[in-house]
Every structure is written in structure tokens, then in C-alpha cells.
A and B are shown apart, each in its own frame.
Chain A
Amino acid sequence: MSKDDLPGAPVTTPMARALGMVAVSVSPDIVVKVPYRDDLVGDPDTGVIAGGVVTTLLDHTSARAAAAALTEETSLATLDLRIDYMRPSKPGRDIFATAYCYKVTRSVAFVRALAYDEDPSDPVASAQGAFMLDSDAGREAGANLTPVQRKPRVKE
């Protein structure tokens, strides 16, 4: 993944790396691609990349668009994501996603994104997502390594 200096965005995440994600463009539009790979196929009868790859790519690209729209570096976590699958991608084709953040509030960034394999005007999928800002919310690095504390049941 090429170097980027989007505030708040990690240069890459393990999931993005594992999928072979490549930053295609950061300006004026954020565009990320997943190169076609046999082990990412969803239906072996068609050779089409799995919907889950598109979901992950749309989530990732949307988060980067949200980060790019912020003036301060902050942690981001997906709050919700809606995806319409308009058509299957063509077998053997790389998948691209482009996203833009259309609204930032104090706590939430709202993003729209498109996935395509050839032409953004003939998209594979369309997505809309909301991202929590400052999602780590004071949790320090490694906070997720300790199990969730269960409140003990105490009889009064």
C-alpha cells in the first residue's frame, strides 16, 4: 500500500494487507482496489469475487474517506453499513471502491461509497455508512486483550 498521510488513517491494517489492498488514489477522490485473486472467490462456479471482499473493501475505503474529511487525527469505528449489491462483478476482474464523506458531526462521520470493476457508472455495489469518531474513547493500546469484565451478581 502506498504511503498516505491521511490524518487518523492507519497506513494499512492486517485485513487490508491480507486482501492485497492497494491505494489507487487519495486526491481528489479516495480510490482503493483489491486485485483479483483465486482465494477471494465467492462462487467457484462463476469465479466472481466474494461479496464479503466487497463489503470489507467498502468498509475500509469509507473509513479512509471519513479520516480524510477530519481535521484532527482520531480513531474511527464503523457504526453501521448498508450495502446494495447491484450486479455480480466480472470474473477475473480487480475490484475498486471509491468513497466520500458527506457529513461530519461531533461524534459521527457519514460516508457514501461505490464498488466497481471497470466503470464507476456501472457499479457492482453501493454503500452508505456511519463511523464513530474517537471510537477508542480513551481505551489504551491493548485494551481489547483483557477479557470483558462480567459484573458479579451480588445479592443485597
Chain B
Amino acid sequence: MTANLDLLSFLERVPYARFIGMRATLNGDEMTGVLPFSEHLIGNPSLPALHGGLIGAFMELTAIAQLSITGPQSRLPRTVDISIDYLRSGRPVDTYARALIKRVGRRIANVQVEAWQEARANPIAALRGNFLVSPRGGDEALPGAAGTH
């Protein structure tokens, strides 16, 4: 229930998430980001293909949303750095993304995201990022938080 509220509140709260039209589905505390296709998301009008930067932005938001669900934050996680690999052209159809939280420290969370369209086994892009996290309640750390940074 809490995860659902955190996810809904995230999607409602972030204007840019609404601008790109991002949605999500939730199974327990595992979410799948959903980006319904829309004409304004196109980067290459000839093929047509989704804009690469936009795909990166969608994966980045998916990471931040997953972090917000997994451990309630006092403020939204802040991107420190991201590295995006573009694997296949993004077709003009819906896109999905799943974030895997690799590690959460006291301040930094490391997250990997994959985005796909028709086939989960054929991702269109992958992102790895480090995010500054602010667990709610001060001492209360995110599950898995231990050790340095």
C-alpha cells in the first residue's frame, strides 16, 4: 500500500514525468516504468525513432522512482552521474523500464536500468547511475545500507 502511494505520489509530483507521459505498474515493491508512445518523444522523424536523450531521461526517472519506493526519502534522489548505452533503435511504440538497485550506501545508491519495447530480451537501452539519497527519518537507512559512502 505504501509503495503504491509513494509511486503515485512520485508520478504526480514530478512535472517532467507528466510532460513525457510516464506511468508505472507495481508488483509488491518492484515497479516497471511505462512510457506510452507519443509523437513528441520522437528524435529521428524519418525512421521514426524515439529521442535518445528522452530514453535516458525515462530510465533515470525509473531509477529515481524505484529508489523512492524501496525506501521512503525525505527528498527526491538526486542524480550524481549516469552512463547510457544505446542498444537498439527505439520504435514508435510503448517503452518499458525496470530498475535494479545494485547497492545503497548511506549517501549513494547505485542503480542499473534496462529499457525494452516488444521483447524483454532485446533491450533498446541500458543505464547505470549513482544517485544521492536522503532516507527519511535520519538514522533510518534504506534496506541494504551499510559500510562506506
A residues with CB within 8 A of B = 10, 13-18, 38-45, 49-53, 55-60, 75, 77-85, 88, 136, 139, 141-145, 147-148, 150
A44, A49, A141: which contacts B47 (Cβ < 8 A)? A141
Q: Please state if B60 and A51 are interface contacts (CB–CB under 8 Å).
A: yes
Q: Which residues of A contact B14 (CB under 8 A)?
A: 41-44, 50
* Residue tally, chain B, CB below 8 Å to A: 45
B45 within 8 A of A: yes
B8 CB to nearest chain A CB (Å): 15
B15 near A39 with CB under 8 A, answer yes
Q: Given A13-B45, A39-B19, A43-B75: A79 and B60 within 8 A (CB)?
A: no
Known contacts A15-B40, A52-B20, then 8 further A-B pairs from the complex at CB < 8 Å, ordered by chain A residue = A10-B45, A41-B14, A42-B15, A52-B54, A52-B58, A56-B56, A80-B86, A83-B84
Give the one of A39, A44, A78, A141 with max B CB within 10 A.
Answer: A78
- Give chain B interface residues in 1-23, CB to chain A under 8 Å: 13-20
Residue contact B53 to A57, C-beta cutoff 8 Å? yes
Nearest-Cβ distance from residue B83 to partner chain A, whole angstroms: 5
Q: How far is the CB of B60 from chain A (nearest CB, A)?
A: 6
B139 at the interface (CB under 8 A from A): no
Q: Which residues of A contact B42 (CB under 8 A)?
A: 13-15
Most buried by A among B40, B51, B83: B51
Q: Tell me if B122 and A148 are in contact (CB < 8 A).
A: yes
* Smallest CB separation, B129 vs chain A (Å): 9
Q: Which of B14, B43, B51, B53 has the most CB of A within 10 A?
A: B53
> Bound complex: CA of A88 vs CA of B79, how far in Å?
9
Given A13-B44, A39-B19, A75-B44, residue A83 in contact with residue B49 (CB < 8 A): no
Q: Are A78 and B52 in contact (CB under 8 A)?
A: yes
15 contacts between A and B (CB under 8 A): A13-B44, A14-B40, A15-B40, A15-B53, A39-B15, A43-B14, A50-B61, A55-B57, A56-B53, A77-B86, A78-B86, A82-B81, A136-B44, A142-B48, A150-B119
> With A and B bound together, what is the CA distance between A45 and B57 in angstroms?
20
A77-B52, A80-B86, A85-B81 known; A144-B47 Cβ under 8 A? yes
Do the beta carbons of A38 and B16 come within 8 Å of each other? Answer: no
* B146 is an interface residue with CB less than 8 A from chain A: no
Asked if B70 lies at the interface with its beta carbon under 8 angstroms from chain A, I say no
B57 touches A40 (CB 8 A): no
Instruction: Choose among A18, A41, A55 the residue that contacts B15 (Cβ–Cβ < 8 A).
Output: A41
